[in-house]
């Protein structure tokens, strides 16, 4: 059971990060919040949307505000695994090889346009995301802690791209779609960017890695009532039998929803999970973990609609023990 001061600490930390990011990324607080949920659960995020809505700015702003070492990987078809993991270079004066670490050996890594990298290069990312380590010249090398990947993807342009394999999609804790900003937020963008440099250059770290690690260890103690555990299991089991789906939710997805609900509750200042927390996170966590049957896809069925229909078949539980 968490103490009130622990919950207050988590909530204050989250509001500080969100407020700082909102100085350059307007009108999408819920998106920032969900990325923080993934971070606190030790997961990784796929930011999927059309060009120009601020995917890269959001990732850069979060990295700056969180502190720690930040690196960016711009994916292209000619990017090699060694460009990500690093390479040993021979020094003729010393007659030895010296390892030059790649950008993956950082705390926060932005992988821009991940679907432009070849499957061979994506495999290097897959090992890092799945096992928190990379293999260089046959030797395992541990990644720093915490390690957080934010990848971006353009879902409407397919020329020169390589679709992410299902195994890699499942390694992302959740997927967020930014969408177009509200009118008032877009008006604010016009006002704040009438300058030669981007406002992101003014951002400073408002957290540090020790704070992130400490909060990661706290959120696992958020209370989850048995009826809510059963609710999660009901959703997952139904997905594996539902006529819309060719592939249902994996056990990794089950665990992600459980942990994510704990983190979301803590970020919002509660020491207990509600059914609404679970329902809110089901779409971003499950959207890349299900496969819709072909006959429904050709009729225009989307992941969002399919998951919404799935959730509608499961009755929301009523909390008994937790105090609202």
Q: Is 231 helix (H, G, I), strand (E, B) or coil?
A: helix
The domain total for the chain is: 2
Question: Tens digit of pLDDT for each residue in 265-286?
Answer: 999 999 999 999 999 999 999 9
Phi, psi of 91 (to 5 degrees): -105, 105
The region of weakest confidence among 67-71, 170-174, 223-227, 283-287 is 67-71
CATH number at residue 254: 1.10.8.80
Checking if the pLDDT of 322 tops 60, the result is no
**Whether residue 227 sits in one domain with residue 185:** no
Where are the strands (E) in the chain, listed by range? 45-48, 70-74, 86-91, 96-101, 108-112, 133-136, 139-142, 148-153, 174-176, 245-247, 291-292
**Whether residue 143 sits in one domain with residue 32:** yes
Checking if the pLDDT of 196 tops 90, the result is no
- Rounded Cα distance, 124 and 170, in Å: 15
**Whether residue 262 sits in one domain with residue 142:** no
Q: Say what the pTM is.
A: 0.91
Checking if the pLDDT of 323 tops 70, the result is no
**Residue pair 116/77 in contact by the 8 Å Cβ criterion:** yes
In a domain, 300, yes or no: yes
In a domain, 3, yes or no: no
Checking if the pLDDT of 170 tops 80, the result is yes
Question: Tens digit of pLDDT for each residue in 228-263?
Answer: 999 999 999 999 999 999 989 999 999 999 999 999
Question: Tens digit of pLDDT for each residue in 120-140?
Answer: 898 888 889 988 999 888 888
Q: Which of 192, 214, 242 is the last residue of a domain?
A: 192
Checking if the pLDDT of 1 tops 80, the result is no
Residue 294 is part of which domain span? 222-314
- Region class of 179: left (phi > 0), else alpha (psi between -120 and 50), else beta: left
pLDDT of residue 320: 72
Residues 6+ apart with CB under 8 A from 49: 55, 154, 155, 177, 178, 179
**Whether residue 175 sits in one domain with residue 50:** yes
Q: Name which of 223, 173, 226 is nearest 38 in CA terms.
A: 173
**Whether residue 131 sits in one domain with residue 256:** no
Provide the pLDDT confidence category of residue 52 given band limits of 50, 70 and 90.
confident
Q: Is 229 helix (H, G, I), strand (E, B) or coil?
A: helix
Question: Tens digit of pLDDT for each residue in 292-308?
Answer: 999 999 998 999 999 99
DSSP secondary structure code for residue 225 in this structure: -
Q: What are the tokens at 284?
A: 């971003």
**Residue pair 148/39 in contact by the 8 Å Cβ criterion:** yes
CATH number at residue 32: 3.40.50.300
Question: Tens digit of pLDDT for each residue in 17-46?
Answer: 999 999 999 989 999 999 999 999 999 999
Q: Which of 173, 192, 211 is the last residue of a domain?
A: 192
pLDDT (average), residues 169-189: 91
Greater confidence (74 vs 197) lies with 74
Checking if the pLDDT of 321 tops 70, the result is no
**Whether residue 175 sits in one domain with residue 56:** yes
In a domain, 81, yes or no: yes
**Whether residue 179 sits in one domain with residue 32:** yes
pLDDT of residue 88: 84
**Whether residue 251 sits in one domain with residue 182:** no
């Amino acid at each position: 059971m968490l103490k009130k001061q622990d919950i207050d600490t988590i909530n204050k930390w989250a509001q500080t990060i969100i407020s700082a990011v909102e100085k350059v990324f307007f009108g999408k607080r819920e998106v920032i919040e969900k990325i923080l949920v993934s971070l606190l659960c030790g997961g990784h995020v796929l930011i999927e949307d059309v060009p120009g809505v601020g995917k890269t700015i959001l990732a850069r702003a979060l990295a700056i505000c969180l502190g720690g070492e930040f690196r960016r990987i711009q994916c292209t078809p000619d990017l090699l695994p060694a460009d990500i993991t690093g390479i040993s270079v021979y020094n003729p004066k010393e007659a030895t090889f010296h390892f030059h670490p790649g950008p993956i050996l950082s705390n926060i890594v932005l992988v821009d346009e991940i679907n432009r990298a070849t499957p061979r290069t994506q495999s290097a990312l897959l090992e890092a995301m799945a096992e928190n380590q990379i293999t260089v010249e046959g030797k395992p090398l541990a990644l720093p802690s915490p390690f957080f990947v934010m990848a971006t993807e353009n879902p409407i342009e397919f020329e020169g791209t390589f679709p992410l394999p299902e195994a890699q999609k499942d390694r992302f804790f959740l997927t967020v779609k930014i969408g177009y900003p509200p009118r008032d937020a877009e008006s604010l963008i016009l006002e704040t960017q009438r300058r030669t440099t981007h406002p992101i250059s003014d951002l400073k770290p408002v957290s540090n890695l020790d704070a992130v690690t400490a909060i990661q260890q706290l959120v696992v103690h958020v209370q989850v009532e048995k009826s809510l555990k059963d609710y999660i299991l009901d959703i997952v089991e139904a997905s594996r039998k539902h006529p819309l789906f060719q592939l249902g939710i994996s056990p990794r997805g089950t665990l992600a929803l459980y942990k994510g609900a704990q983190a979301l509750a803590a970020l919002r200042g509660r020491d207990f999970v509600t059914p609404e927390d679970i329902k809110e996170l089901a779409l971003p966590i499950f959207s890349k973990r299900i496969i819709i049957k072909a006959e429904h896809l050709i009729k225009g069925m989307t992941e969002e609609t399919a998951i919404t229909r799935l959730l509608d078949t499961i009755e929301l539980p009523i909390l008994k023990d937790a105090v609202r």
